Amino acid sequence: EHAEAFGAASSEARTRDGALIEVAANIGHPDEAEAAFAQGADGIGLFRSEFLFLDRPVAPDRGRQRADYQAALDAMQGKPVIIRTLDIGADKQLDYLRLGQTPNPALGMRGVRLIEGHQALLVDQLRALLECRPPAGKGGLRIMLPMVTDLLDVRRVREWIDTLVDELGLAEDADFVAPELGVMIEVPAAALCAASLAREVDFFSIGTNDLTQYTLAMDREAPGLAARMDALHPAVLRLVRLCVEGAALYGRKVGVCGAAAGDEIAVAALIALGVDELSMEPARVPAIKAWVRRLDRARLAARIDEALALDDAAQVRSWVARSITTNP
Ligand code: PEP
Ligand code: MG
């Protein structure tokens, strides 16, 4: 037991000045949770559940979904597992879900917006999630909504969860731990009004891929724009700051699960802005933990306003690279 406690403590990622940063993994299938655990991930920061729905003639039934979510929870042995509800639409389409043609699919029906017109699909998924039993009655399961714009996207889901908890008799179940409900911050409106969201949700995870796309109005799939699609743009970082400030008003945690979370220079800036959790592909976890241990959060935080006042992402990158003081 002592060895286990020591092992857990020694795998923590603390900055040089003692800030604990949770370094978690992104997965698209429960099999990957074992790899994440083996790499020392502190949790699953993003389970992209839509991968269970892709490349199939019909949606997976509730039993199939429950088994997959349960497998991820079991593999993580009680560590937090954030399962994102179906994020379909825009670049990811399902043949069996007719979303209709629209000239701007990235601005159309996608993510949590499917509660309009596809309620059964989401309610079924929520039910599968609530039917899971986190190992040894520990918490662990967290539910996250993609593409949230404002509280209108959240309240209906919260009501469905409450109804399902009643229907399944979970309130009388001594082992039941109500899952936290969080939102992705990937729409600029959600970041700008973060304080409003923070009042009613349990946590934020910033999806820097989409937040960058929507803030810069640059398609994340457009090859010609790839060089400028950088989450270190001062406009994106200002939105990150607003998220952290809004979350702090209600004591909520802010994570990042976009690609920036696995990028060393971006990690330094995100930690300086007050982000406490980073989630990335499992293979990046050990390197980012090692990197976090070399950073001094307070020193960089004291100067990060200088970066927010710069002109573009390239300037921010060189500013951060120059400003970090790391231990070898
Ligand atoms: C993001 O948008 O940053 C994100 C993590 O979600 P996805 O890449 O699946 O859209
Ligand atoms: Mg996204």
Q: What is the ipTM of this complex?
A: 0.99
Q: Any idea which of 8-12, 233-237, 252-256, 276-280 has the lowest mean pLDDT?
A: 8-12
The β-bridge partners of 253 are 203
| Local structure of residue 17 (DSSP, 8 states) | T
Q: Is 209 in the pocket of ligand 1 (CB under 6 A)?
A: yes
What are the tens digits of pLDDT across the range 77-109? 999 999 999 999 877 888 888 777 788 889 998
Q: What is the tens place of the pLDDT at every residue in 174-197?
A: 888 899 999 999 999 999 999 999
**H-type alpha helices, the chain:** 2-10, 31-38, 62-75, 119-130, 152-167, 188-192, 194-200, 208-216, 234-249, 264-272, 285-294, 297-301, 304-308, 313-323
Q: Find the angle CA(318)-CA(324)-CA(328) to the nearest 5 degrees.
A: 120
pLDDT at 270 over 80: yes
pLDDT digits (tens, 9 = 90+) for 56-67: 999 999 999 999
Q: What pLDDT sits at residue 190?
A: 98
Provide the pLDDT for residue 103. 85
**Distance from residue 207's CA to the centre of ligand 2 (Å):** 5
Average the pLDDT over each of 7-11, 79-83, 90-94, 289-293 and give the range with the smallest value: 7-11
Report pLDDT for 1. Answer: 36
CA pair distance 100, 90, nearest whole angstrom: 11
**Ligand 2 centroid, distance to 163 Cα (angstroms):** 28
Distances (CA, A) of 178 to 130, 142, 181: 8, 9, 9
Ligand 1 atom closest to 46 (CA): 5
Entry pTM: 0.95
Tell me what the pLDDT averaged over the chain comes to. 93
- Minimum-distance ligand to the CA of 148? 2
Which of 47, 184, 218, 270 should be mutated for ligand 1, with most atoms under 8 A from CB?
A: 184
State the average pLDDT over residues 28-51: 97
Residue 297 has a pLDDT of: 97
- The number of CA neighbours under 13 Å toward the Cβ of 225 is 12
Mean predicted confidence (pLDDT) in 136-156? 91
With the most atoms of ligand 1 within 8 angstroms of its CB, the residue from 85, 210, 213 to mutate is 210
